[in-house]
Structure 1
Amino acid sequence: MNFKELLRFLGELQQNNSKEWMDANRKRYQQLRKEFIAWLDDIDRSLAEIDDGYYPTPGKKGINRINNNLMFHPNKPIYKDHFAAGLDKAPGTGDFYVEIGLQGSLFAGGIWRPEPKTLRSIREAIDYDGEEFQKILNKRSFKALFGDLYEDEKLTTAPKGFQKDHPYIDLLRNKSFGVVHRFSNEEVFQPDFKDKLIKVYLEMLPFRRYLNKAITV
């Protein structure tokens, strides 16, 4: 995958964010999309080899649309400034998110703003064995790659059915449970970028497995 050409295209797209410009550059976009899907397919195969529980997700299935959803975000530009995809996308679970874009690139995973039933399941899991979840979050190598949970909206008090002095109240107040590792574009251009992606995936795996077990068992 020629990531430099991908970012060059995205930069020009953001300077000319219109359907007219995209139509004039459609072949260029389609070629880059094809290359990105092929890169995703290679990552998909590699992750399946190292993770027995991996859910195969071909690039065509995992890749996100480049169009912003203007129905819900009418003030956003027509096109995004990144290419992205979700891998390991077993139905009803959180995926492993990959994004390559102008503002840097990132790998992320977890559950973002789940519907109430799913959120309740995660909170009940933390109530039952929050010590296990906290141990995952506090692991030194995990902290080094992700820091803390992704900062998102939180309740100002205890969720319904949980005590304010619950030992894991700070976790229970979250509305999202996700982590992010960011890369500079210079890192993306390096030959060992795939190795770094795999390292992040493996470090994130116990975190994602805990959440997926919480919402599927």
Structure 2
Amino acid sequence: MSRDVPGSPFAGFQTEALAFYLGLEADNSRTYWTDHRDEWEREVREPMLGLVAALADEFGEAKLFRPNRDIRFSADKSPYKTHQGAFAAAPGGAGYYVEISATGLRAGGGFRAHNPAQTAKMRAAVDAGPPGAELETLLESLRRKRFEVLGERVRTTPRGYAADHPHIELLRHKELMVIRDFGDPTWLGTRRALARVRDTWRSVRPLNEWVATHVGPA
């Protein structure tokens, strides 16, 4: 992740940002990146820095992910990510996420498990009764707000839990994240995008608070 300082005040993501990534998807090469780096700086990096700077008063400092992919252990040797993400850590091991790509804007949060102990603690809390019911209620509320529940899952029943457990679908998760896909709405190129991301992160806060209470940092 980078340690860039915030840039210009946020005024939305323009169509040129999406066009940059559309071109990168078609030609994910060092030549394309070099030829279009100024566009990435101007249309992607600077607006994203402005966005997270405007959110820092409420959610803390966010870091931009580096544009380069780690290809050392990947069969896909494409050198560049086809999106720009940023992450603001929340107390207790979870956090808030925002992303711009060729398809538009996404935002959400939650936690990505860094070790089996985190997964075990989450499952124990879900199994405990009231915390599991609370988490189910939180996720149902987020689904009604058009969030998608994500995170690596096992296909079978986790060891030590019954297949007919009332929260079996949650227990299959190794980690727990939610995302809302806004696409490319008319307001994306305006400051209204800031309000939408801020509202999205506020909606995610109860989930992050649950993680802080019942899972904790890695």
State the TM-score, normalizing by the size of structure 2.
0.80
CA distance in 1, matches of 2:35, 2:147: 42
Please identify which structure carries the higher strand content.
Answer: 2
CA distance in 2, matches of 1:81, 1:20: 15
Instruction: Count residues in correspondence.
Output: 202
CA distance in 2, matches of 1:92, 1:72: 30
Structure 2 residue identity aligned to 1:83: Q
Residues 190, 25 of structure 1: alpha-carbon distance in 2 compared, 3 angstrom cutoff: closer
Displacement of 1:57 = 1.2
Structure 2 residue identity aligned to 1:165: D
What aligned pairs does 1:33-182 form with structure 2 within 5 A after superposition?
33-45=45-57, 48=58, 54=59, 56-58=60-62, 62-87=63-88, 89-90=89-90, 93-128=93-128, 129-139=131-141, 142-147=142-147, 149-150=149-150, 152-157=152-157, 159-182=158-181
What is the aligned partner in structure 1 of residue 4 from structure 2? none
CA distance in 1, matches of 2:78, 2:156: 33
Deviations 1:168-211 (A, max 9, x none): 22211222311110011124235422222122111111112112
Select 1:29's aligned residue among 22, 36, 40.
40
Displacement of 1:118 = 0.5
Residue aligned with 1:25, SS:
helix
If asked which structure has higher relative contact order (CA below 8 Å, sep 6+), I would say: 2
Query: What percentage of aligned pairs have identical amino acids?
Result: 24
Give the unaligned 5+ runs of structure 2.
1-10
State the TM-score, normalizing by the size of structure 1.
0.80
Q: Does 1:12 align with 2:12?
A: no
CA distance in 2, matches of 1:6, 1:131: 41
Deviations 1:137-158 (A, max 9, x none): 233xx2222455226432411x
CA distance in 2, matches of 1:152, 1:3: 32
CA distance in 2, matches of 1:173, 1:13: 35
What is the aligned partner in structure 2 of residue 51 from structure 1? none
Give the unaligned 5+ runs of structure 1.
49-53
Instruction: Provide the aligned C-alpha RMSD in A.
Output: 2.4
